[in-house]
């Protein structure tokens, strides 16, 4: 009987399954850059005393690249300035030592000054996104600084379902939001093991190349799943909030069969993670309020829950209060991972193979599956 370890926040938990009951979802196309190759690519990035680095997330890969950019600049006698958005600044400050990380302010003049400056370098992890299709610097800037345009993007959606890996009207609005900005960006493609590649250039160009690389790394879907256990994206610490864990669920939607059961392994030690999920948990908004509402952070999660709650069973292993998860969100609650595995086998038979994504961000699914 093989032992599988799943990350659960600050610890790991074990799930015991017979070989005949196990189906691991892995992506052999992903590999990581050696440090020597990473540093060679960094040498091609133009930096000077006026360069400002603005990492827009606190993923391990973003932290690693930012730190190596700083170190490389120091060898050339260059002292880089670093700023970041509020939600990432604290983590970045704790993990990038001896650096004063200023706040990338939401004031319009400050935003315009940074985004129109060719010495500004934004750093983002390019990823699959259930609302935009893909996420990176343009979508993060839109979410953080473009409320009116974010309302427009939310209203432009073709339906109320997740569309990971598809380019539609919302991402077109994000790209237009950034198309005239003079700043540069670095788009990272990475997994739990490290950085696969990164792309430096004008915002639209580097984002396009990041998306192109993700599409090259995508895997074909062989069949729809009757069950799925979703592990943690350690690179982005997805287990820290409910919203970031739900992103992994919606990004896996293509391989879930109707009436399947999916289990999210998600400690959520930092809470709900977005305004909408928190307001919904506390009864301040209703499940269908998204239909006639301006966008608030995380509203797509409420929309997706409303649309998909009858199509499959959403289950979770979390430290959040069971009352909210069960009574408000309508999730099935498991006390431990073995209980979840046993329940899946009880539902689907003793010969059933449980699909497990240990590293969800490497499983980028290309084709739609007919349910």
DSSP characters over 61-74: HHHHHHHHHHHHHH
Judge whether 81 and 103 are in contact, CB under 8 Å: no
Q: How far apart are CA 66 and CA 57, in angstroms?
A: 11
Q: Distance (Å, rounded) from C-alpha 328 to C-alpha 173?
A: 33
Question: Both ends of the chain: CA-CA distance in Å?
Answer: 32
Phi, psi of 342 (to 5 degrees): -65, -40
* pTM given for the model: 0.92
How confident is residue 371, by pLDDT bands cut at 50, 70 and 90? very low
Give all domains of the chain, ordered by start, each with its CATH number.
3-27+222-362 (3.90.226.30), 35-216 (3.40.50.11440)
Phi then psi dihedrals of residue 87, to 5 deg: -70, -20
Mean pLDDT across the chain: 90
pLDDT digits (tens, 9 = 90+) for 217-275: 887 765 688 999 998 887 888 888 999 999 999 988 888 889 999 999 989 989 999 99
Q: What is the pLDDT of residues 115-162, one digit of tens each?
A: 999 999 999 999 999 999 999 999 999 999 999 999 999 999 999 999
């Amino acid at each position: 009987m093989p032992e599988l370890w799943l990350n659960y926040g600050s610890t790991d938990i074990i799930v015991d399954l017979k070989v005949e009951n196990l189906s691991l979802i892995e992506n052999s196309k992903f590999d990581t850059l050696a440090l020597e190759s990473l540093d060679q690519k960094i040498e091609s990035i133009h930096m000077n005393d006026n360069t400002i680095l603005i990492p827009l997330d606190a993923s391990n890969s973003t932290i690693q690249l930012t730190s190596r950019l700083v170190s490389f600049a120091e060898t050339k006698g260059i002292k880089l300035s670093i700023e970041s958005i509020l939600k990432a600044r604290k983590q970045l400050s704790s993990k990038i030592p001896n650096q004063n990380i200023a706040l990338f302010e939401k004031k319009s003049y400050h935003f315009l000054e940074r985004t129109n400056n060719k010495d500004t370098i934004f750093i983002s992890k390019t990823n699959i996104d259930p609302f935009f299709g893909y996420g990176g610097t343009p979508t993060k800037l839109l979410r953080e600084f473009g409320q009116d345009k974010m309302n427009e993007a939310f209203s432009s959606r073709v339906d109320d379902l997740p569309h990971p890996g598809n380019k539609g009207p919302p991402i077109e609005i994000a790209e237009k939001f950034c198309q005239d900005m003079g700043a540069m960006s670095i788009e990272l493609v990475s997994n739990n093991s490290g950085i696969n590649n990164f792309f430096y250039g004008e915002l639209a160009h580097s984002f396009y190349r990041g998306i192109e690389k993700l599409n090259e790394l995508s895997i074909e879907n062989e069949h729809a799943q009757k069950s799925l256990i979703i592990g943690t994206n350690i690179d982005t610490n997805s287990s820290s909030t409910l919203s970031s864990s739900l992103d992994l669920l919606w990004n896996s939607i293509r391989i879930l069969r109707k009436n399947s059961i999916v289990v999210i392994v998600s400690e959520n030690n930092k809470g709900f993670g977005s305004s909408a999920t928190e307001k919904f948990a506390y009864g301040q908004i209703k499940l269908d309020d998204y239909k006639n509402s301006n966008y608030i952070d995380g509203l797509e999660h409420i929309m997706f829950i409303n649309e998909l709650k009858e199509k499959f069973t959403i289950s979770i292993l979390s430290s959040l209060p069971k009352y909210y998860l069960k009574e408000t969100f309508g999730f099935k609650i498991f006390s431990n991972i073995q209980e979840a595995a046993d329940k899946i086998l009880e539902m689907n038979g003793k010969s059933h193979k449980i699909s497990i994504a240990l590293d969800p961000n490497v499983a980028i699914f290309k084709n739609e599956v007919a349910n």
